Structure 1
């Protein structure tokens, strides 16, 4: 009966009491060089937590800003590249040593935020590009989590997996990325059921789109060049102008941005609930009303209509549009 009541209050979104965070509460967040990860690291530091900011590059501007932020030794930066097994092992050892050194520390949460994304139709993307997205977003996240599960189990910490709206509805030109986030979504659900019996909460956090404030697509033009270089003669002729206009459209999200550009108070309030509620929801979705309307329509419309709505939702150049404009 207790389990049924617990499930019911989670379903209706009742948050339970809030857990007070102190410097004894340790949180490890991946992908803290910029964007959401950087913002979450700063936010958790403001909650008085001890933050282990896992950065892809500990010499990045974002990592440097995080280190400069701290005057109380509560902001710690380590290097974690999810493509490199040795950095995952090092993160586990670093955290283990830290927890053993100070018995008062409590591993409160692991936030799996690090990810990579590459725009381009599936035929365009190279094997290296779609394998990278699967290896980082799915396999790297799984490897890190598996390493840390004994610690999370012992401390009854929680796992917050940052997924995406692409895990709820696939989008064109983001096939491998959507596949990786959908994989994370269902892995998250399975892990949640497994770990609940050990007192470990597993939460799916969908933050919405903020690619213009993140460096997740900073190398998009480099990716485009690699695609074009891999085209055969037929592909170059067929896609030609469309490929060029498609990637010109994406220049606005390309290039590296300052690491501390993203800050959304509404999103952080939801993250606070996911982190501190004694009875957190299983999924948090942060989105504007436009997203809500589209998601509702996606649920009730047949696939043919969903496809049309999805293309409109993306608002990106299409082959037909470019070809039609060239004939005018």
Structure 2
């Protein structure tokens, strides 16, 4: 090596070390400042959340306040109508089957302050008719009483978008009709049933509640389209909250894990899964195999059977979100241990998430078998 080249190398090394000595202290200081800021942000978020929770425990006065709820034929919506009626709110209960058992039971179990409203969230005319029913009823509440004294007008305080559907089946199985139906109800239907009421909520500075799901944070077989729809619904809530903040309207996401309701009836889900499998082309069915399908049905049934029966946990959070002065942005009703497990999984890297979810949701032996075959081919 020439002397000139050695001089260049030594000069570069010496210059680099000298520069490092000058820069590294500042880099370390920057790292320390960044870490401190991250810790402060975490503490500030926790303190703010706890402060808002404590401050928001004081409930608003239900007098002259009305709530419109979709999906009240059963489940969370049905129970929420009953609870809000007992507290003293006027409730408009949107029911897909206004003459069905759910609506009839609500009529028997609630006061005259509950109005059953026929509602199909997939149809514009049905939602528009529901809006007319609600708005006219609110106007009539501001009429004169028997002593000719003007009553304070009833205002629309909250809209709860709760209507939803859930189907089971892997993405390749059956037709896309079930995917279309899922998005028609869980996404488009949610937006359709909330939008007309926003002017009334701006007047009252009220709030919007939407039933999303913990599964809106994950994609879990064999309910990937459901997870997709709930993720879209969750982003709708986030976006609407930011758009409505300038008007003082609060938007809240309700994100329960699996609870045992009519929506998660394992018999209905297995029936749909069977129907979806039966309509799948034979060429695709051969790749999965009948044994895999049967095992997948067992896994789905076991997962649904492990769902929590304490539906009151979800309803309690709904009531708080409607009545609290300062509700949280999102509620995550779940069992303490199960809730913690899923929250930790959310922080895991994608590869680990895949392992966890596949272990829970799919027959492990088949996942391992496919992985083994792929390795053999690559080898």
CA separation of 1:291/1:248 partners in 2, compared to 1, >3 Å: closer, same or farther? closer
The answer as to whether partners of 1:99 and 1:106 remain within 8 angstroms in 2 is yes
> Which one of 26, 32, 40 corresponds to residue 72 of structure 2?
32
- Give secondary structure in 2 for the equivalent of 1:140: helix
Q: 2:249 maps to what in 1?
A: 200
Higher relative contact order (CA 8 A, sep 6+): 1
Separation in structure 1 between the aligned mates of residue 280 and residue 368 of structure 2, nearest angstrom: 19
Q: 1:134 maps to what in 2?
A: 183
**Deviation at 1:13?**
4.0
Matched, 1:121 2:170: yes
Q: 1:307 maps to what in 2?
A: 354
**Deviation at 1:134?**
0.8
**Deviation at 1:268?**
3.2
Matched, 1:293 2:333: no
The total of aligned residue pairs comes to 310
TM-score by length of 2: 0.74
**Deviation at 1:10?**
4.9
- Give secondary structure in 2 for the equivalent of 1:82: coil
CA separation of 1:311/1:251 partners in 2, compared to 1, >3 Å: closer, same or farther? closer
CA separation of 1:145/1:119 partners in 2, compared to 1, >3 Å: closer, same or farther? same
> Which one of 318, 321, 334 corresponds to residue 271 of structure 1?
318
- Give secondary structure in 2 for the equivalent of 1:67: helix
Deviation per residue, 1:126-156 (Å, 9 max, x gap): 2100111111100011011111111111222
Deviation per residue, 1:194-239 (Å, 9 max, x gap): 11111111011112211x3323546324422431332112123333
**Deviation at 1:116?**
0.5
Structure 1 residues 156-305: aligned runs within 5 Å: 156-210=205-259, 212-217=260-265, 219-239=268-288, 240-247=290-297, 250=300, 264-305=311-352
Deviation per residue, 1:41-84 (Å, 9 max, x gap): 111111121111111111221111001113x4111111211122
* Contiguous gaps of at least 5 residues in structure 1: 255-260
Q: 2:115 maps to what in 1?
A: 76
Q: 2:135 maps to what in 1?
A: 96
The answer as to whether partners of 2:76 and 2:314 remain within 8 angstroms in 1 is no
**C-alpha RMSD of matched pairs (Å):** 2.8
**Deviation at 1:20?**
2.2
Q: 2:204 maps to what in 1?
A: 155
- Give secondary structure in 1 for the equivalent of 2:315: helix
Separation in structure 2 between the aligned mates of residue 56 and residue 318 of structure 1, nearest angstrom: 39
Higher helix fraction: Structure 1 or Structure 2? 2
Select the structure of larger CA radius of gyration.
Answer: 2
